[in-house]
Amino acid sequence: MSRPEELAPPEIFYGDTESFKYTSSTRVQHIQAKMTLRALDLLNLSPDEPHFLLDLGCGSGLSGEILTEEGYNWVGMDISPSMLATALDRDADGDLILSDLGNGVPFRAGTFDAAISISAIQWLCNVDAVGNDPKKRLLRFFNTLYASLARGGKFVAQFYPKDQGQIDDILSAAKVSGFGGGLIIDEPDSKRNKKHYLVLSAGISDRSVNLEGAEMEVSAKKDKRKLKKLESRKSFINRKKETMRKRGRVVANDSKFTARKRRPRF
C-alpha cells in the first residue's frame, strides 16, 4: 500500500472526500480507538485526578472521542480544515484549533498535563512547501510542545515512520528539545500490525510511564570475530551453503547428515 504522506500535503490529502472516507470507515475507527487506548495506557495518568490533554493531529476527533469517554478534557490541533469540519459535525467535546504542528504549539507554558498524537507526526518529516526544513520543523514542534507541557508532563505519539532515518530524526529532535524517553514498538515482528509509539516525558514525574510488557532491544551489533567464535560447526556449514546457493552454485542437499563428523572405520 502506498503511503498517504507521499501523495499530497496533509491539508490537501485529507480533503472533504478523504475525511469522510477516513472517518466513516469502521476499520479505521477501530484501529484509531485501539491505538488511543494504548497511548493512554502508556501515559499512565492517575485515574483520580482530572487532566487537561492536548491531541496533536486530532483529525476528525476519533481519538478525542475516546479521550472524552475516558473522562479527559482535551484540546485538539490539526492542519486539515475538512477533518476539523467533520469533527464539528460529530460534536467533538474538545476545542479544535486549525494549526500546523511544524509551526509550533501555540500555548503558554505549563498548559497541559499530557499530550497524545495518533498517526500524525510522520507528516512533519515531509517537505511540502518551498523552504520547509523537516529537521527545523520537528525541532520547533518539540521545543514548543516541551514548553506547553506542565513539568513532568508526558507525551505519547503513535506514528508511521517511513524508514529508520525518520525515526532517528524524530528521536534526535525530541532529545535536543529536552525530552527524555524513547521508542516502543508493539508487535515488532509483524509487518502489518507493527506500531511505533514515541514515549516522552518533560522532566521527572511522580508517575512514570507504563512500560509493562516492554522488552529492551539488545543491540545486534557485536564484534564479528566474537560472533564467528560462537558459531557452531553446523551453523557455519549451513551459512556457507546458503551463500553458495545464493550465488547459484550447485550445493549438496541438506540432510540429517549435514556437518556430521565422519567416524573412523574399524
Partner 1 sequence: MKFLTTNFIQCAVKGCQSSDSSFPLKYEECELVAETQEFKPEFLVHMLEKINWSALVQVARDLGNDNLPTEKPELDPIMEDDVLILKDLHNLLVETNILNGKMICNNCGHIYFIKNSIPNFLLPPHLCN
The site for partner 1 (CB under 8 A) is made up of: 49-52, 73, 75, 77, 79, 81, 84-85, 88, 93, 95-100, 103-104, 106-108, 110-111, 129, 131, 136, 140, 144, 147, 150
Smallest separation (angstroms) from partner 1 to the CB of 132: 8
Q: Which value, in Å, is the radius of gyration of the alpha carbons in the chain? A: 24
Contacts of 170 (CB under 8 A, 6+ apart): 121, 124, 125, 138, 159, 161, 198
Smallest separation (angstroms) from partner 1 to the CB of 39: 21
Closest of 177, 181, 32 to residue 119, by C-alpha:
32
Smallest separation (angstroms) from partner 1 to the CB of 103: 5
Residue at grid coordinates 513532568: 152
Smallest separation (angstroms) from partner 1 to the CB of 35: 24
DSSP state of 162: S
Other Cβ atoms closer than 10 A to 51: 19
Smallest separation (angstroms) from partner 1 to the CB of 15: 16
Smallest separation (angstroms) from partner 1 to the CB of 105: 8
Q: Which is nearer to partner 1, 35 or 149 (CB)?
A: 149
Q: Which is nearer to partner 1, 7 or 98 (CB)?
A: 98
Return the bridge partners of 54, or none. Answer: 75, 115
Q: Which is nearer to partner 1, 100 or 158 (CB)?
A: 100
Q: Which is nearer to partner 1, 64 or 104 (CB)?
A: 104
Smallest separation (angstroms) from partner 1 to the CB of 117: 17
Smallest separation (angstroms) from partner 1 to the CB of 153: 12
Q: Which is nearer to partner 1, 122 or 143 (CB)?
A: 143
As given in the structure block, the three cell numbers for residue 118 are 495518533
Q: Which is nearer to partner 1, 39 or 92 (CB)?
A: 92
The span from the CA of 116 to the CA of 113, in Å, is 11
Q: Which is nearer to partner 1, 85 or 237 (CB)?
A: 85
Q: Do residues 90 and 111 lie in contact, with contact meaning Cβ atoms separated by under 8 Å?
A: no
Strands (E), 36-103: 52-56, 73-78, 95-98
Contacts of 48 (CB under 8 A, 6+ apart): none
Please give the C-alpha separations between residue 58 and each of 15, 161, 204, 242, in angstroms, as whole numbers.
15, 18, 26, 49
As given in the structure block, the three cell numbers for residue 191 are 509487518
Terminal C-alpha separation, the chain: 64
Q: Which is nearer to partner 1, 79 or 170 (CB)?
A: 79
